[in-house]
Amino acid sequence: MRRLAAGLRALGVRREERVLVLMHDTTDWPVVFLGALYAGVVPVAVNTLLSAADYAFMLEHSRARVGFVSATLLPTLRAALDAARHEVAHVVVARGEDAETGLEEILGRHDPLATAAATGADEPGFWLYSSGSTGRPKGAVHTHANLYWTAELYGKPVLGLREDDVCFSAAKLFFAYGLGNALTFPLSVGASVLLMAERPTPEAVSRRLTGHKPTVFYGAPTGYAALLASPALPGREEVALRLCSSAGEALPREIGERFTRHFGCEIVDGIGSTEMLHIFLSNRPGDVRYGTSGHPVPGYRVELRDERGRVIESAGEIGELFVAGPSSALMYWGDRAKSRDTFQGAWTRTGDKYLRDDEGCYVYSGRSDDMLKVSGQYVSPFEVEATLVQHAAVLEAAVIGVADADGLTRPKACVVLKDPAAASEALSDELKQFVRQRLAPHKYPRIVEFLPELPKTATGKIQRFRLREREAGRA
Ligand code: 3UK
């Protein structure tokens, strides 16, 4: 890490300048991320599953001076650089079996930087991008101290991580969830981390659970459901789990109960966000109430507010969730309007609807915008719709979330064809593939329904809520 910091200096990267981190979860990831922090350079950690167009935007927006990239992602980064109106000074390729040796060379060439940059707690430390409803990502600027706060307020006291734990996160390090799970939390207590560069399929996860015997596992609800349904599901005696964590979307009660019956181990469901860096409302080990997000994490305050902004005190009433705590982002870089809408003084608006039940547990009650969470990741209906209408057969489209048999959200496209007679199973499959080839894998519609027209307001805006009501009526 200190060699990397020295390398950044030698490459001419200065304090507060950004570097892009587009890398799979290998040991290079913490080296680059922590090395940049050490040098006072600002790492911008990005999702490895996005398109070249997304990275082109992020390069322009962050003005990254260096791109750190896994060898397999190099062609995508090159395509992004060709498209971007921005040039990086260097592209550094991570270490790998037959990869180019950019990072290797940098680490070998420099003596460790002796002292860390004298950064302040409130200084920009790193960025994480979150999906915007319009499809344009928002760059959440986090401070150096925010990493400390999430470990102090959640990793240590709530999860109760210990030095003898082995932590394994299916959520990757570029997610705020994975960053706490598999980097800052374990390091803060001296625990060990198991990193996996592969996609977290049930087979890949199962192999790690039985092979390396992690004691703490973190995943998203879809991953738990897939593992439980998989022939690769390990037996209780084959694993060493003492604690599991879930976030990204609400964990359906059924999945939690089935998991606990099988493994004899609880899943602690908690809600966090990119803006708050980690979890602020959570169940507690030993006191899990499936189907709820539990109670506020000490150190954070939460409020439910009604449509007029008044705080809801009574149980059972749905309101919008606001949160205040020391780990919130400073702003969205270069977007004053969205920053003001989300970061309101001490309070951060989550965009979620919640109610408090009779026992004071918080129960997730949907988003207050049109955004979907699929496999724990945001999907903007607007982005999927904009992709669908690029297909020659499509006149217009509306995308909503529908619950599958496990109670998890799946994107569904309601499509109006230019020629209604062209509707067929084959075309439906073609449209799914069409989106799949153009956007991140979790975004494609799992269901396509052809409709004669879409419900709209007098001004022509698509009324997705009417389509949602229609689904609810069918269920
Ligand atoms: C939804 C949940 C119900 C909710 C995240 C843990 O998911 C994370 O961050 P994102 O920015 O999304 C935030 C939104 O996701 N959500 C997350 N967890 C839950 N809804 N129950 C949950 N347990 O809509 C929230 O506003 O991708 C999760 C830690 C760090 C994170 N960044």
Question: What is the rounded average pLDDT of the residues 342-349?
Answer: 98
- At residue 100, the pLDDT reads 55
* Residue 277 alpha carbon to ligand 1 centre in Å: 10
Q: Which residue from 153, 218, 271, 349 has its CB within 8 A of the most atoms of ligand 1, so it is best to mutate?
A: 271
Residues 6+ apart with CB under 8 A from 406: 221, 225, 252, 254, 255
**Atom 6 (ligand 1) nearest CA:** 272
- At residue 214, the pLDDT reads 98
Q: Which residue has the tokens 């979307």?
A: 249
CB 294 within 8 A of CB 345: no
* Residue 322 alpha carbon to ligand 1 centre in Å: 13
Q: Which residues of 126-145 are buried (b: 16+ CB within 10 A; e: fewer)?
A: bbbbbbbbebbbbbbbbbbb
Atom of ligand 1 nearest to the CA of 350: 26
Going from the C-alpha of 66 to that of each of 88, 143, 360, the distances in angstroms are: 5, 20, 48
Atom of ligand 1 nearest to the CA of 364: 3
Residue 193 — very low, low, confident or very high, per pLDDT cuts 50/70/90? very high
Distance CA 186, CA 49 (A): 25
Q: What percent of the chain has pLDDT over 90?
A: 92
Q: Tens of pLDDT along 74-111?
A: 999 999 999 999 999 899 998 875 555 589 888 888 99
Distance CA 244, CA 34 (A): 26
Question: What is the rounded average pLDDT of the residues 46-63?
Answer: 96
* Residue 329 alpha carbon to ligand 1 centre in Å: 15
DSSP state letter for 371 = -
* Residue 294 alpha carbon to ligand 1 centre in Å: 14
- At residue 104, the pLDDT reads 86
Q: Which residue has the tokens 């060990």?
A: 192
Question: What is the rounded average pLDDT of the residues 387-395?
Answer: 96
Going from the C-alpha of 460 to that of each of 148, 154, 413, 453, 455, the distances in angstroms are: 47, 45, 18, 12, 9
* Burial of 111 from C-beta contacts in 10 A (0-12 / 13-18 / 19+): exposed
Q: Tens of pLDDT along 230-281?
A: 999 999 999 999 999 999 999 999 999 999 999 999 999 999 999 999 999 9
**Atom 15 (ligand 1) nearest CA:** 248
Q: Which residue from 128, 249, 279, 290 has its CB within 8 A of the most atoms of ligand 1, so it is best to mutate?
A: 249
Please check the confidence at residue 387 and state whether its pLDDT lies above 70: yes
Query: Which long-range contacts link 391-396 to residues 24+ away (Cβ below 8 Å)?
Result: 391/430, 391/431, 391/434, 392/418, 393/417, 393/418, 393/419, 393/422, 393/427, 393/431, 394/418, 394/431, 396/454, 396/462
Please check the confidence at residue 64 and state whether its pLDDT lies above 60: yes
Q: Which residues of 4-23 are buried (b: 16+ CB within 10 A; e: fewer)?
A: bbbbbbebebeeebbbbbbb
Which amino acid belongs to residue 7?
A: G
Question: What is the rounded average pLDDT of the residues 354-363?
Answer: 97
Distance CA 460, CA 52 (A): 32
For the chain, give the mean pLDDT. Answer: 95
CB 143 within 8 A of CB 121: yes
Q: Which residue from 244, 245, 361, 373 has its CB within 8 A of the most atoms of ligand 1, so it is best to mutate?
A: 373
* Residue 249 alpha carbon to ligand 1 centre in Å: 6
Q: Which residue has the tokens 């999945």?
A: 255
CB 59 within 8 A of CB 90: no
- At residue 97, the pLDDT reads 56
Please check the confidence at residue 442 and state whether its pLDDT lies above 60: yes
* Residue 276 alpha carbon to ligand 1 centre in Å: 10
CA pseudo-torsion sign 373, 33, 21, 326: positive
- At residue 162, the pLDDT reads 98
Which amino acid belongs to residue 298?
A: P
Using CB distances shorter than 6 Å, the residues near ligand 1 are: 130, 176-177, 247-250, 269-274, 278-279, 293, 350-352, 364, 367, 373, 376, 378
Strand order in 243-246's β-sheet? 192-194, 166-169, 216-219, 243-246, 267-272, 279-282, 295-296
Distance CA 245, CA 190 (A): 19
- At residue 460, the pLDDT reads 84
Q: Which residue from 159, 175, 273 has its CB within 8 A of the most atoms of ligand 1, so it is best to mutate?
A: 273
Please check the confidence at residue 338 and state whether its pLDDT lies above 70: yes
Question: What is the rounded average pLDDT of the residues 134-146?
Answer: 93
* pTM of this structure: 0.94
